[in-house]
Amino acid sequence: MAGEFPGDEARRACDAIEINGNPFGLSHSSRGEWAKGLPVSAADGKIETDILYFTGCYASFDPRNRRVAESFIKICEAAGVSVAMLGKAERCCGEPARKLGNEYLYRMVAGSNIAAIRAAKAKRIVTACPHCFNTLVRDYRELGLDVPVEHHSTFIRRLVGEGCLKLHQEAFGATCHDSCYLARYRDIIEAPRLVLEAAGGRLTEMEWSGSETFCCGAGGGRILAEEKLGMPIVDERLRMAKMAGASTVATACPFCLSMFEDGLKRESAGSRLDVLDLAEIVARRIERH
């Protein structure tokens, strides 16, 4: 209520969400540009599709996470799933602002998103962001949203399990980093691992995993704030990943992916640890006929 934030960068991000609908301050009209040339239709309430893809801010604007969105669309295309998006009608889900204490801003963007989803006549929503997922599936219910919402990890798992998506198994060593909002909040632990195994992954677990996962440091709105004291949390998590002995860290969260990428940039050259989203791993192994 006092409008206090952990840093000026968090205040600027919240101001940007209020004005532009995203924490980066980029034009909301460019939110759907990532989908140019991809089989994604605009959700206008006239064209019926299998799912509405709630893209989220990072997959909409961040070049690294845009590759995750592109991979997810490739998966849907291969499985025969038609996809629509809200595009410029979508706003930040509001979760980071709410966790920082700006309830008014959360309510404002949540109301805008719910109105856009209703106008789109969406029957099912899928998102690759656990923060968006938890917010839409739980918090938006309080505001009247009654559309089924699913995270892309369980959605992809079902496509593979039902035989809609054929993967060729290319063996690779991987360790699975559990996003807090999947494992701790929604108890989604098994699905990402089953997908990785279906893609040929040989899994080794980190020191903290599953419901006892170790946060990447982005939760609670901290993705919008700078860490200025002590060792960044993600550096400790990267240490655990290396101790697991795998060459690939698989995650299913744009916040975690961004934190890992930033952590690897601080390391000396020559690090062989790859960090990939679950959708990227799967998209590379789709069987083509």
Q: Tens digit of pLDDT for each residue in 124-161?
A: 999 999 999 999 999 999 999 999 999 999 999 999 99
pLDDT at 5: 64
pLDDT tier for residue 219 given thresholds of 50, 70 and 90: confident
Lookup: tokens for 151: 């995270």
Looking at residue 84, its pLDDT comes to 97
Q: Say whether 166-283 and 8-156 share the same fold.
A: yes
Selected from 1.20.1250.20, 3.40.50.1860, 3.40.50.2300, 3.90.930.12, the CATH number assigned to the domain covering 8-156 reads: 3.40.50.1860
Sign of CA dihedral 168, 170, 171, 175: negative
Lookup result for tokens 């101001």: 15
Please report how many Cα atoms fall inside a 13 Å half-sphere around the Cα of residue 133, on the Cβ side.
24
Output the pLDDT for position 85: 98
pLDDT digit string (tens) for 70-83? Answer: 999 999 999 999 99
Q: How far is CA 33 from the centre of its chain?
A: 18
Beta carbons of 91 and 109 less than 8 angstroms apart: yes
Encoding tokens for residue 270?
A: 């020559």
Tell me, what DSSP letter sits at residue 38?
S
Q: Picking from 21-30, 196-205, 242-251, 268-277, which range would have the lowest pLDDT averaged per residue? A: 268-277
* Domain coordinates in residue numbering, the chain: 8-156, 166-283
pLDDT tens-place string over residues 250-286: 999 999 999 999 888 887 655 678 999 999 999 999 9
Task: Look at residue 100 in the predicted model and tell me its pLDDT.
Answer: 85
Average pLDDT, the chain: 92
Say yes or no to pLDDT of 221 above 80. no
The whole-angstrom separation of Cα 125 and Cα 145 is: 11
CA distance linking residue 280 with residue 127, whole number of Å: 14
Name the pLDDT band for 3 (thresholds 50, 70, 90).
low
Using an 8 Å Cβ cutoff, are 132 and 93 in contact? yes
Architecture of domain 166-283: 3-Layer(aba) Sandwich (3.40)
